[in-house]
Chain A
Amino acid sequence: MLKCVVVCRYPWEMLKCALLCAGVLSLKLLRIVVPPYTYQGEKALLQCQYELENDRLYSVTWYKDHEEFYRYVPKSHPPQHSYPLEGIKVDHHQSDGQQVLLKNVNLKASGKYRCEVSAEAPSFTSVHGEGRMEVVALPKEGPQITGEEGMYQVGDVISLNCTSGKSYPPARLRWYINGRPVVPDYNAVVQQHGLVTSVVGLRFEVRPHHFSSGHMQIRCVATISTDLEQSDPPDRAPLLEDNRETLLLGRQPFVLHQLTVHILNNVSAC
């Protein structure tokens, strides 16, 4: 209909436009549903909702990142056809001209999914829609702080590393001393089989003010967010966020006592 409006901009085209718009109530896309994230190893259902109106269907084609992986052509035999694409396995039984079910998705299934619906000849009017899906692998454990030496005196240099568990997307590590964020001295990532381990280092000299309340708390927080790789700054709330942290507590005389507390495992709703 939109197209019709565009075509009939001019009054002298109104008649032709009216005929066109009235006579050819053609194919239109209603909705495309692509889950924004899916955990590794789970199923993902992709839906393409359209209205054929007076058209007959020629094909429904599914692309991931411009690569076709599934096609539904009613005139073809069999009408379903899927093509191998890394990380994608189509469940033909639960797929048709309206939806595709991906089985056991892995990290490679992340990407932009597009469906294109084409009507039959002669117009072959086509409509398409697309959505992005991220496959997320959460770490099995929380971040770990290494490098503590048990006893420190004021004036000693504390040099620590915080290492996240393997995940995708990579965890973002942040240091806090006594609840206040501090800039890490360095960052590093280690990739392995599509999963990423993040390391951040912290180095500082122990000062009396670190013990304002008689003890000192050093915290490392690991955050996994589906929004991390997307637009920056994020224009909308992350779809998924997973935070884990580790604490080091120190008391005078300095004894660092390690505690591992799983504080949060929040999953934001869509």
Chain B
Amino acid sequence: MMPCDITPRDRDDAVYMVLWFKEADGEPLYSFDVRGRQFGQAKLWSAPTAFGTRAYFRTASTPAQLLVDDVALSDEGMYRCRVDFRNTPTRNLKINLTVIVPPERPVIYDDKRRDRRKLLERYNEGSDVYLVCEVTGGRPRPRVTWFLENTIIDDSYTHEPNDITTNHLSFPNIGRQHLNARLICQASNTNLTHAQSEVIVLDVNLKPVAVHITTKDKQVSADKRYDVECRSSGSRPEAIITWWKNSRQIKRVTKNHLEEGNQSVSVLSFVPTIEDDGKYLTCRAENPEINDSALEDRWRLNVHYVPMVTLKMGSSLNPDDIKEGDDVYFECNIRANPKAYRLAWFHNGHEIHHNVTAGVILSDHSLVLQGVTRHTAGDYTCLAANTEGKGTSNPATLRVMFVPTCKDDREELLGALKHETVALRCEVDANPPLVTFHWTFNNSGDLAEVPPSRFTSVGSVSRLNYTPVTDMDYGTLACWGFNAVGHQRSPCIFQVVAAGRPFPLINCSVVNQTSDSLHVECLESFDGGLPQSFLMELLELPGLRPRYNVTVARGPPMFDIYGMEPGASYQVNLYAVNAKGRSEPYIIEAVTFKGVAKFTGPSASLPMNPVLTGLIATAVGLLVVVCAVVVALYRRHQHRRHPRQAKLSQLEAALHQADDPVSADGGCAGAGHTTPLNPTASSTGGVIVAADHRTTEDTDPDIIPNKYERRPLKGFMKMYKTPPQRRRKKNDTEDEEGILREELNHRHLAKDIHNNQVNSVCNLRAHKGVTASSPLSAGPETLTSSAPLMHKLGPEVVTASHRMQESCI
């Protein structure tokens, strides 16, 4: 495109002819001939040897232009445009046509001369980029320039042979800011057209710039699950996050994902253990493409845990050689985070406290026990508490060696017939339990060693089968043990007494009653040394006519009777029976079966007119006299049969009468009433008198059971409290005593029995018989209700009644 101004100088003027020449050539290349024509129809001519059809003179533009297509290098040169005007001078314009040949598109090679266009290789952050840009051709020779985005970074190019221009780019230490930056190689030799360029976009592997454990709890609890989160940013490609505990990698459950902002997140499901306390948990983020790109964040674990407690006995002690009286100590070793704020000690599960007087000293982490006993033995634990909870130690067992002692520290009473063998079982507590036994026999002061052949011993138990042959064989057997620690201090005692009548039943009660049936239950007492059976008698009221008998051959004493006649009332007598006879009855005053004939009230609620009352009082008075006579006779008789016993009985009776008129009265009354019911007892009825055993002690210390009776009251009490546990045939004499008393005092003295504790009241009532009868009118209900009260009286008279049994043998 070559411009040529063909505008005339004057308005009147007009173009006439335009000729184009090249250099000094005479022959024009192109002509535009307007002569004799309209301007628009000018004659155009292009020299075929020059532009030919490539050229066209365009007059429509201002200035007019000679357009030449497909300009070749040969077209370059100085051109002249001659414009002839009709009226004004010719215009000659010179145009220098320079033909520029653009270079080819640059090619970018890397340092290994690989074409970067065909290579998708990332650079690592911090590495150097070496690139070569090669451009072929171009006229004039092109400038080859490197741009980073819009900034020239290298314009030093070299024209090489073979028409190649190169620019070597060395771009050191590329960084994060260069990610996706465009490196452009541009080749240009003119401003007329766009430069040729080639672009590579920098893809950079980036190091992670940050890594943070975001959930650094101040402390964690052992064995709880924690989700620990770690975040890393800045890495490209995504950072690989690993977890380390101290220097060991944790390859357990981690959940990794990518979040917005190119953040790599890893969540470690972590259960700290006690051993982790103080260790470092490290989160490590690394770009696997770049060496030494790892970043770490550490978290010092503060693991809280329930105290770990171990207990051991003092190291200077030999746990197998601790005797009663020794001092021992325990050491409690506590491992805890946070520190334990409380330490407690337990003995067999019960907390123990500091008690210097009891010899329990708690200090720091140790427990001192001074003067241990067998009761101090057992399992000890210590317990430490912190905010995480309580930790209990292993149990440390304290074994205390001690000399044998009786397992049951009460004496055992056994009744035996002559030639009857009783099995005595002596069990002791001892540590070590290897016990050697020996037995002694004692009667009335003679102490004899039982030959070892007579008893057998296994561990802490020794058995002796004892057969009394003569009266002299009754007495006290004592069992002694000794072990490594020493000799038993007090022996286990067995009283072997001659067999007799059983003791009365106790605690009888109507368990179930219908209109025609009855169920009564009792507890058995001492069987008198012989097998016993049980008997229930029903006496119809008011005449006390025996109507029914129920026998129970073998215990327990539970009685059933059916098909009763309705509408009747009965007195129920209950007995224990053995070969020596039957016991005193246990009386249930009145049991009424509801029915057509009502007999519950009438007898009891008979109107008591003054005459009748007077009669009764008189009868009572007579009875007292008779009773006194009978007693006197009986005593004499007894004295003859059992001189010692009789003497005692006499004294007792005498004393009793003086001291306790109520019981005396009762005794007489009881005898009177029971006689028809229990004829066998009639002979003894008179002597069943309540008496204080203490009196006997003073009066006759020589009698056989003396020693036995001398035993502390406690001993008896205990023995009788639980006879069924020890020997089934033994009966509780305590309650029986109550029954006995009840029996003695029954009916007309019931009111006095109520107030038996207070003698003065009793006396008063005894004298004023009239008043005494009035509560009687209250009927059997009052009497039955009095029964429990009677029991309370028991202990006062136990030994007496017991001895009476003995004396009966």
User: Is the beta-carbon distance between B19 and A121 smaller than 8 angstroms?
Assistant: no
A233 CB, nearest partner CB in chain B, Å: 28
- B84 beta carbon closer than 8 Å to chain A: yes
B28 and A124 within 8 A (CB): yes
Contact flags A120-146 to B (C-beta < 8 A → 1, else 0): 011111111000000000000000000
Report B70-114 residues with CB < 8 Å from chain A CB: 84, 87-90, 92
How many whole Å from A74's CB to the nearest CB in chain B?
Answer: 12
Do A124 and B31 touch (CB < 8 A)? Answer: yes
State how many angstroms separate the Cβ of B23 from the closest Cβ of chain A: 12
Give, as a whole number of angstroms, the nearest-CB distance from B272 to chain A: 98
Interface membership of A118, Cβ < 8 A: yes
Kindly state whether residue B43 has any CB partner on chain A within 8 Å: yes
Does B26 contact A3, Cβ atoms closer than 8 Å?
A: yes
Residue of A with least CB distance to B25: A3
Bound-state CA distance A125–B28 (Å) is 6
User: Known interface pairs A3-B26, A127-B26. Does A121 touch B33 (Cβ–Cβ under 8 Å)?
Assistant: yes
Is A47 located at the chain interface by the 8 A CB criterion?
A: no
Docked complex Cα distance between A126 and B28 (Å):
8
Interface residue total, chain B, C-beta cutoff 8 A? 19
- Known A-B contacts A59-B84, A75-B35; the reply to A122 vs B45 at CB < 8 A is yes
Question: How many Å lie between the Cα of A81 and that of B25 in the bound state?
Answer: 26
Is B89 within 8 A of A69, CB to CB?
yes
For B84, the chain A residues whose CB sits under 8 A away are 59, 61
Is there contact, CB below 8 Å, between B45 and A71?
A: no
Q: Is the CB of B19 within 8 A of A71?
A: no
Residues of A within 8 A of B280 (CB): none
Q: Flag whether A204 is at the interface (Cβ < 8 A).
A: no
Do A123 and B27 have beta carbons less than 8 Å apart?
yes
Check A122/B31 contact, CB under 8 A, given A3-B26, A59-B84, A127-B26: yes
Write out the residue numbers on chain B whose beta carbons fall within 8 Å of the beta carbon of A123.
27-28, 47
Taking a contact as CB atoms under 8 Å apart, the answer to whether B89 and A68 are in contact is yes
Given the complex of chains A and B, what is the CA–CA distance between A49 and B17 in angstroms? 23
Query: Does A126 lie within 8 Å of B31, measured CB to CB?
Result: no
In the complex, which residue of chain A has the Cβ closest to the Cβ of B89? A68
Question: Would A66 and B92 count as touching, CB distance under 8 A?
Answer: yes
Give CA–CA (A84, B87) in the complex, Å: 12
Select from chain A the residue with minimum beta-carbon distance to B36.
A75
Flag if B90 contacts A71 (CB, 8 Å). yes
Residue of B nearest to A83 (CB): B89
Are B19 and A124 in contact, CB atoms less than 8 angstroms apart?
yes
**Any A CB within 8 A of the CB of B299:** no
Q: Is A121 a contact partner of B89 (Cβ separation < 8 A)? A: no
Q: Which of B1-44 contact A (CB under 8 A)?
A: 17, 19, 21, 25-28, 31, 33, 35, 43
A103 to B421, CA, bound (A): 195
A121-B31, A121-B33 known; A126+B89 contact, CB < 8 A: no
A125 to B29, CA, bound (A): 10
Chain A residues in 8 Å Cβ range of B31: 121-122, 124
Decide: A3 near B90, CB < 8 A? Known: A124-B19, A126-B19. Answer: no
User: Which residue on B lies nearest to A27, using beta carbons?
Assistant: B26
Cβ of A42 under 8 Å from chain B: no
Give min CB distance, A71 to chain B, whole Å. Answer: 7
Docked complex Cα distance between A232 and B27 (Å): 35
Determine if B45 and A61 form an interchain contact, defined as CB atoms under 8 angstroms apart: no
Residues from chain B with Cβ under 8 Å of A69 in the complex = 89
* Residues 1-42 of A at the B interface (beta carbon under 8 Å): 3, 27
Q: Are B88 and A83 in contact (CB under 8 A)?
A: yes
A27–chain B nearest beta-carbon distance, Å: 8
Whether the pair A3, B89 counts as a contact (CB closer than 8 A) is: no
Neighbour of A61 across the interface among B26, B43, B88, B90, CB < 8 A: B90
Q: Decide if B89 touches A125 in the complex (CB within 8 Å).
A: no
- Identify which of B27, B47, B88 contacts A126 (C-beta below 8 A): B27
Quote the shortest CB–CB distance from B117 to chain A (angstroms): 44
- Most-contacted residue by chain B among A75, A125, A126 (CB, 10 A): A126
- Please give 19 more A-B residue pairs, beta carbons under 8 A apart, in addition to A3-B25, A63-B90, A124-B19: A3-B26, A3-B27, A59-B84, A61-B90, A63-B92, A68-B89, A68-B90, A75-B35, A83-B88, A121-B31, A121-B33, A121-B45, A122-B31, A123-B27, A123-B28, A125-B28, A126-B21, A126-B26, A126-B27
**Interface residues in chain B, defined as those with a beta carbon under 8 Å from any beta carbon in chain A:** 17, 19, 21, 25-28, 31, 33, 35, 43, 45, 47, 84, 87-90, 92
Chain A residues engaging chain B, CB cutoff 8 angstroms = 3, 27, 58-59, 61, 63, 66-69, 71, 75, 81, 83, 118, 121-128
